[in-house]
Amino acid sequence: MMNAQQIVLANRPEGMPTKENFRAESITLPPLNQEEVLIKGLYFSVDPYMRGRMKDVESYAPPFPVNEPVYGNVVGEIIDSKSASFKEGDLVRGILPWATEAVAKAQSVVKIDASIADPSYFLGILGMPGLTAFFGLLYIGKPTPGETVVVSGAAGAVGIIAGQIAKLKDCRVVAIAGSDEKIEMLKEKFHFDEAINYKTIPDLNKAIKDACPKKVDIYFDNVGGKISDAVIVNINTHARIVLCGQISLYNATETPVGPRLEPLLVTKSALMQGFLVGDFKNKFSEGIQQLSQWIKAGALKYHETIIDGFDKLPEAFAGLFSGKNIGKMIVKA
């Protein structure tokens, strides 16, 4: 028997989430059954997609029940095991509750190899965000050398990888982000060809047009809304619009409206494809292998915003929607 802290969804956010939507609780963990493990959470991932699960509507994943713990990607350490697959000290990753310690089925977690990269990287570049960027860009965007790729949310966990993979594929990469600090990082550390601060540029449409003299072949979209409007009006014939995320719309309380894109998609013979990383489940090992190889070779860099303290999870999550993170947002317990 062990005591732990967990964070539950206290009520469903209306619009922007706040820390008042969550509540910390003390719980007593049950003893382990066979094929179960006890995990101490080390790194907790907060991701924009989790906002969708806080709504009471059917989606690709069931909604989080109110008064139950929030679940997300967690890297933790095995501190007790009734499974032959895991021993104390093993580092694992899985979809686990926001809890300081948790009991999980052994089959619900996978071991991570900290010799490849820091454990927290398995929540980012070597986790869901990395695979999302990899499959979205390569399998939907299908970049060819010399093409122009625009990435929105380019300083975010996924965008920062998508842009770098596009560079590795010899594309011109134009990044859009929301602070001068992010813009500087995207140019100086990640060497994107252009980086535009959408919050300070007077005319985003014109800025994109100027930055993309050969128009936009691939738009890797993490944000949606007015930023996307400005990009999409600049697409090329046979453009591919990779719909990865729509963070600007996740907190909308009414159905967002915008220009109808279909007539342009017809005249440009353009593709717009939504996807979830799970669509590529049977190719995950290919993605992990290639990403690991690029990391080891120094071809892919990464950036994290690590917030200290398990109890900061609600604030860190809410901060995603005001752009507080640079790169992957992670809470370290």
Q: Enumerate binding residues for a second copy (CB under 8 A).
A: 52, 59-60, 221, 224-225, 228, 237-238, 243-246, 249-250, 255-276, 279
Task: State which residue, 2 or 249, has the beta carbon closest to a second copy.
Answer: 249
Distance CA 45, CA 60 (A): 19
Task: State which residue, 258 or 309, has the beta carbon closest to a second copy.
Answer: 258
On whether the CB atoms of residues 5 and 24 are closer than 8 A, the answer is yes
Q: How far is the CB of 317 from a second copy (least distance, A)?
A: 19
Task: State which residue, 259 or 309, has the beta carbon closest to a second copy.
Answer: 259
Q: How far is the CB of 51 from a second copy (least distance, A)?
A: 11
Task: State which residue, 81 or 132, has the beta carbon closest to a second copy.
Answer: 132
Task: State which residue, 126 or 247, has the beta carbon closest to a second copy.
Answer: 247
Task: State which residue, 34 or 255, has the beta carbon closest to a second copy.
Answer: 255
Q: How far is the CB of 31 from a second copy (least distance, A)?
A: 38
Q: How far is the CB of 167 from a second copy (least distance, A)?
A: 25
Task: State which residue, 20 or 60, has the beta carbon closest to a second copy.
Answer: 60
Q: How far is the CB of 57 from a second copy (least distance, A)?
A: 9
Give the helix/strand (H/E) hosting 261: none
Q: How far is the CA of 61 from the CAs of 53, 58, 102, 116, 211, in angstroms?
A: 7, 7, 21, 30, 38
CA nearest 150: which of 232, 247, 225? 232
Residue 36 Rama label (left phi>0; alpha psi -120 to 50; beta): beta
Q: Name 74's bridge partners.
A: 44, 94
CA nearest 167: which of 328, 303, 300, 304? 300
Q: How far is the CB of 252 from a second copy (least distance, A)?
A: 8
Distance CA 247, CA 323 (A): 10
Task: State which residue, 250 or 317, has the beta carbon closest to a second copy.
Answer: 250
Q: How far is the CB of 157 from a second copy (least distance, A)?
A: 16
Q: How far is the CB of 228 from a second copy (least distance, A)?
A: 7
| Token code pair at residue 137 | 């860009």
| Token code pair at residue 33 | 């059954």
| Token code pair at residue 88 | 């104390």
**Following DSSP, what letter does each residue of 108-162 receive, concatenated?**
GEEE--TTTS-GGGGGTTTSHHHHHHHHIIIIII---TT-EEEESSTTBTTHHHH
Give the helix/strand (H/E) hosting 230: helix 225-232
